[in-house]
Chain A
Amino acid sequence: MEQLHNIGTQLDWIVLIIYMITMLLFGSYFAKYNKDTNDFFFGGRRFSWWLIAMSIVATGISSHSFVKYSAMGFKYGFSSSMSYMNDWFFVPLFMFGWLPIIIYSRIRSIPEYFEKRFSPFARFLVTILQLLYLIGYVGIGFLTMGKAIMPLMPEYFTILGFQIHVTLMGLIWATALITGVYITFGGQTAVIFTDLVQGTMLLIAGLLVFFLGISYVGGLDSFWGLLPTSWKLPFAGFNSPAEFNSVGTFWEDAIAGSVGFLFMNMGLIMRFMAAKNVHEGRKAAAANVLFMLPISAIVVGGAGWVAKAISIMNPNIIPPNINPDSVFVVVANILTGPGVFGFVVAAIAAALMSTVSTLVNAASAIYVNDVDRPIRIWLKKLRRSERLPEKKAMLVARVSTIILTLMGVFAVYAFVSYPTIYQAHAFFHATLTPPLMVAIFFGAFWKKFTPAGLITTVIGGISLMLLGNRFPYELIRPIAHGTPYDPVHPYTYMSALYNLIVCVSLAVLTTIFQKQLRKLSNKIIDSKSHFIMYPIIGFTALVFIIDVLVAVLKLETFSLEFLMCLTILASFFVALISTHYVKYDSERQIEGLTIWSIHKAKEIYKGRKVNERDGEKVRVHWKLIKDDNEDIVNFSKKDMNKMAAEVGDFVYLSDARKYLGGLKSVHSVYGEPHNEEGIVYIRKRHLEHGLFVEGKILEAEKEM
């Protein structure tokens, strides 16, 4: 494949640099809204649905999409849109299950949920998986960024007589440096607001390239007529070719990918946690999946589609052996003039930066909550009930951001061997998503699911997945729906189905046989032969290490049958060990933490009975009360009646200017009413946090 260089003009570079600097300054401006780690990570939980939806667009479509979907659009046509149009199946469980659970349980990270629902060891396992998932995602983001910018660069620079060759990894290191600065100081509020601008710019840039392309080939009729029928179909072939097919995409993307994105992607979850309430989060999710994703499918794939039409019309303009991952940049350069091309590339590069920033911010949130804090508690430098002083917590957050950015760059080396970003990303999803997906799904939706089930799913599941990776022909082919076997990257997509089957099987079997496992554990306790557990633990650890070595080093020392028997036995032992050692209260630890007790979750969140009466929003002027600084606000009796609110209910108070999207807002509690209609009494803390402006009207609504 041909690697292009030196695309674009000097003017494009000027536009690109100005755009990037503007975005950096814009993001830095919002750093003033970071009063504490809650603001840094969750933007103070105050934003409107449209701001969250737009932010998700910038995150969702920028990460890898322009490069990878243009590449697939160029190679396969409209079927590149498959991944954007298959996300609805899990939306009910997200909107009414996972979203309220994570909001009402007041968790700050997904691993924290697993400690509450299961055990500290479950949290530890999920933390490792989550960090791997996020760092891997950051790696994909950096790789994409490098590939997107590469065609613009010269082959080498000459500085002080030294010739420096421009390499992909060199570019990635440079972009990582800029991204690190941006996220380290900006935080979540900066990310959300820059996303608003970047999301809009992305949509404009993508649609601009698409419509210019249609005009270039002579209009819509001509465009439609140029493309062969197979290119116009919205789906790839059912089971071929190996690198892109419908059945593989269904399991890897519609199932594993959708759940990975909606339920596990801490970056996205933090966006929803930044919404002012659950209802607003639902609106953001619906708007995103129903409207923004189909538009995004055109935005990200359109360049590839028009590139194909141009290549059919005039094969000399777009080289047939072009690197597919360069298609977007090449076609944008052909269709736009100097300066505009710079804007298009800047929009994409800046948005890629935003995606990576989101993920690094999310990984940092997990580090602060699930690594740093437990270690401090373990070292007895912090009590379980205590919080780290905010200044120190912010420092940890920022330092971890830098370290995680570096780890993201190292992760690029794992994906760089794949021919396209699309395949690298598919491999990543198919491998890392299934154990976490099963853990979250069964944890949140099946109240009988126990810590033993979860731990066996993760440890036993990963062992069996490693065997699938080592023996794909024997283990994955029978369920591969006839997709061809590619010996270099075998069953990149269908491995998702195999991985899901082994994880679900272990989760279900361990949960169903929980009573028997408990009996066996009790027998060991009663017979005072507790020492028997040590060789069992040793054997299990040994089998896990053997599976890792067999998969990583491609060893041929043991037969598949032998390894399979060992791994199944070890999985049984994992279930027994976790039943034996992990303390679990099946009544208390599901309260408010599964879909079966959402109402209880609301009550726990509020601390009293929930008021579900429908009320109106009211507009009020504010008056500062200086006598105390309690977290209560007082409305008139009449206003309280309009809102159907009672003393002790939760209230959301925001600047009435809708375009602010909740930037100037606070959550509080209704205090005793007064008689001044149209006035709300607020305290100093509300003024500091909400940054309300003198003379500006506020809007109030009852939350629950």
Chain B
Amino acid sequence: MLSFFDTWLPFIYLYVGGGIFFIFGLYLIRKTKALDMRLKHHRFWWKVLIFGYFYFMAIHAFLIIAALYL
């Protein structure tokens, strides 16, 4: 029988642990104006960056659900 340790804990650890580094990165590029929201192509990249995080999270969540229930 698979436990929480095998199924959802690695997922939570990855996205909380990795999320801390990710949010810190987003904060820093905004704070330093390396990503300048006044520029059109930078606004595009901002959306891509946030999309990327949830994109991988959704893929992993889907795969866990598929493994457990399909």
Q: For the complex formed, measure the closest distance between the CB of A703 and the CB atoms of chain B, giving whole angstroms.
A: 13
Given the known inter-chain contacts A229-B68, A598-B34, please indicate yes or no for A90 contacting B41, CB distance below 8 A: no
Query: Is the CB–CB distance between A598 and B45 below 8 Å?
Result: no
Q: How far, in angstroms, from A596 to B35 measured CA to CA in the complex? A: 11
Q: Determine which of B11, B49, B66 lies in contact with A91 in the assembled complex, contact meaning CB atoms within 8 Å.
A: B49
Please report whether the interface of chain B is mostly helix, strand, loop or mixed according to DSSP: helix
Query: Is the CB–CB distance between B22 and A88 below 8 Å?
Result: yes
Q: How far, in angstroms, from A212 to B64 measured CA to CA in the complex? A: 25
Given the known inter-chain contacts A230-B6, A595-B28, please indicate yes or no for A235 contacting B14, CB distance below 8 A: yes
Query: Is the CB–CB distance between B52 and A232 below 8 Å?
Result: no
Query: Is the CB–CB distance between B64 and A233 below 8 Å?
Result: yes
Given the known inter-chain contacts A95-B45, A596-B32, please indicate yes or no for A85 contacting B56, CB distance below 8 A: yes
Q: For B55, what are the chain A residues with a Cβ–Cβ distance below 8 Å?
A: 88, 290
Q: How far, in angstroms, from A247 to B49 measured CA to CA in the complex? A: 24
Query: Is the CB–CB distance between A85 and B59 below 8 Å?
Result: yes
- CB of A513 closer than 8 Å to a CB of B: no
Query: Is the CB–CB distance between B52 and A91 below 8 Å?
Result: yes
Q: Determine which of B17, B52, B64 lies in contact with A88 in the assembled complex, contact meaning CB atoms within 8 Å.
A: B52
Q: For A485, what are the chain B residues with a Cβ–Cβ distance below 8 Å?
A: none
Q: How far, in angstroms, from A91 to B18 measured CA to CA in the complex? A: 11
Q: How far, in angstroms, from A382 to B68 measured CA to CA in the complex? A: 66
Given the known inter-chain contacts A229-B67, A234-B63, A238-B5, please indicate yes or no for A88 contacting B32, CB distance below 8 A: no
Q: Determine which of A90, A232, A247 lies in contact with B10 in the assembled complex, contact meaning CB atoms within 8 Å.
A: A247
Query: Is the CB–CB distance between A234 and B34 below 8 Å?
Result: no
Q: From A92, A100, A289, A294, name the one whose CB has the most chain B CB atoms within 10 angstroms.
A: A92
Q: Across the A-B interface, how many residue pairs have beta carbons closer than 8 Å? A: 121
Q: For B28, what are the chain A residues with a Cβ–Cβ distance below 8 Å?
A: 92-93, 97, 445, 595
Count chain A residues whose beta carbon lies closer than 8 angstroms to a beta carbon of B. 42
Q: For B53, what are the chain A residues with a Cβ–Cβ distance below 8 Å?
A: 88-89
Q: For A473, what are the chain B residues with a Cβ–Cβ distance below 8 Å?
A: none
Query: Is the CB–CB distance between B10 and A290 below 8 Å?
Result: no
Q: How far, in angstroms, from A291 to B30 measured CA to CA in the complex? A: 25
Q: How far, in angstroms, from A96 to B68 measured CA to CA in the complex? A: 39
Query: Is the CB–CB distance between A92 and B49 below 8 Å?
Result: yes
Q: How far, in angstroms, from A681 to B18 measured CA to CA in the complex? A: 51
Q: For A100, what are the chain B residues with a Cβ–Cβ distance below 8 Å?
A: 34
0 or 1 for each of A227-257: is its CB under 8 Å from B? (1 = yes):
0011011111111000000110010001100
CB-based nearest B residue for A77 = B67
- A residues 594-648 in Cβ contact with B at 8 Å: 595-596, 598-599, 612, 614
Q: How far, in angstroms, from A595 to B35 measured CA to CA in the complex? A: 10
Q: For A254, what are the chain B residues with a Cβ–Cβ distance below 8 Å?
A: 14, 17-18
0 or 1 for each of B8-37: is its CB under 8 Å from A? (1 = yes):
011101100111011001101100111100
Q: How far, in angstroms, from A279 to B39 measured CA to CA in the complex? A: 13
- CB of A105 closer than 8 Å to a CB of B: no
Given the known inter-chain contacts A92-B29, A596-B32, please indicate yes or no for A78 contacting B63, CB distance below 8 A: yes
- CB of A86 closer than 8 Å to a CB of B: yes
Q: Determine which of A89, A237, A290, A599 lies in contact with B19 in the assembled complex, contact meaning CB atoms within 8 Å.
A: A89
- A residues 519-549 in Cβ contact with B at 8 Å: none
Q: How far, in angstroms, from A304 to B3 measured CA to CA in the complex? A: 24
0 or 1 for each of B37-59: is its CB under 8 Å from A? (1 = yes):
00111000100110011011001
A-B contacts, 8 listed (Cβ < 8 Å):
A85-B60, A88-B18, A97-B25, A97-B29, A232-B63, A235-B14, A250-B13, A286-B48
